[in-house]
Amino acid sequence: MNESNKKKTVAIVCGGGPAPGINAVIAAVTLRARNVGFDVIGIYDGFSHLAKREKKYIKLTQDEVSRISIMGGSILHMSRYNPTKSADDLKNVVETLTELGVNYLVTIGGDDTAFSAAAVSSYAKEHGGAINVVHVPKTIDDDLPLPEGVPTFGFETAREMGAREATNLVEDARTSRNRWYFAVAMGRTAGHLALGIGSAAGADVTVIPEEFGAQKISLQRVVDIITGSIMKSYFNGKDHGVAVIAEGVIEKIEQADLEKLGNVELDEHGHIRYSELDFGNILKKSVSRELKKYGKKITIVSKDIGYELRCSSPISYDIEYARSLGCEAVNFLAAGKSGAMISIQNESSEPMYFDDIKDPKTGKTKVRRVNTASLRYKVARDYMTRIEKSDLDNASLAETYDMTIDEFKKRFGYLFE
């Protein structure tokens, strides 16, 4: 058989953390690729084995994927291994894929995996390789640079599951009385998930990193926002509530304050390992101390929301959405194209090329953050109970803190500078 008649092979690599809908993408890629005459292999554990020249994979067939679309998790498992940290790793990835006879690579992941996919595509091209690459955007953080209003797959399921959990906390706080829950929602650099959960559940206040702009903030600023929400609720006759805080707020905290939180560990991509910092408990202790100054003693319970969302069975929206992305990823490759992230916009498949979604400052994939000028954020903010600039002239609210108007303005005015 001459080279042109050899059967083409598609490899699937899953990077980063899990998200609902991954298996639906795997199934769609497999079935569509086989329908157009390609073989399909699934690489286990992200790029970790490829970078070590290890060939750990499974040949994917219709029988292997026939009912996996409704399942959570990933049948190929996941890894955050970063092949771009080493030139040797990148070389090993491309050469191992080539030895496996791979012509096409489909990566499924977030911004870091997209960056790795772009690097693999570039390396293969520069060294005369023949591996066309397409990336399928996956993250419950919803922070990949898609157009506003276009979610990453997995986000809607995670928001739905997270909102159910937060709604139960709202009801528990109401039933127990004199109790607040601090729910720290997953979201490394963007507040999409926290805002979605807080808005849908009717949380009293949601704090996201985007509301602080580009500046670094003190831990006290976050404490004052939450304390203000609690005190204003008391002023309005409500002694219970729920605060949702995006874990990405940690990235905004000044280095001096961050060092007080404990030993900070970084992952393969240089990001803070939030799981090593009990941010909810830190806020709980800090807010409790602040409330004590004003004669308020309440029960505060901290709760992380995130890991239990990542492997949820996808809702129907994400199953259908993920299937569309997987199918269009194969169509993109079959057309001889390479080097893009696939997206669905206005019911059409739209490739977003790696060079176009690269941040010129960092060289990495751009991060989409919450647009605080959007209607979505404005409505969410209007529903929150938190100290606003207009409250600084409220003498009755100042009395709740046992302060004069001038003292109240001096204490909390900085929140609006």
Residue type, 364: K
Which residues 6+ apart lie within 8 Å of 294 measured at CB? 231, 400, 401, 402
Catalytically annotated residue among 111, 141, 143, 224? 141
Separation between Cα atoms, residue 42 and residue 30, nearest integer Å: 9
Q: H or E segment at 395?
A: helix 395-400
Main-chain phi, psi angles of 365, to 5 degrees: -65, 135
Catalytic (active site) residue 239 = no
Report the distance separating Cα 79 and Cα 415, nearest Å: 40
Residue partners of 340: CB distance under 8 A and separation at least 6: 134, 135, 332, 351, 352, 353, 354
| Identity at 233, one-letter amino acid code | S
Sign of CA dihedral 373, 375, 379, 382: positive
> How far apart are the C-alpha atoms of 290 and 275, rounded to whole Å?
25
Distance between CA atoms of residues 360 and 100, nearest Å: 34
Identity of the residue numbered 379? V
Burial (Cβ within 10 Å: 0-12, 13-18, ≥19) of residue 366:
middle
The rounded distance, in Å, linking the Cα atoms of 54 and 89 is 12
Q: Which helix (H) or strand (E) holds 156?
A: helix 155-176
Q: Which run of H or E residues covers position 29?
A: helix 22-35
Q: Which two tokens stand for residue 150?
A: 């276009």
Phi, psi of 347 (to 5 degrees): 65, 20
Q: Which active-site residues does the annotation give?
A: 141
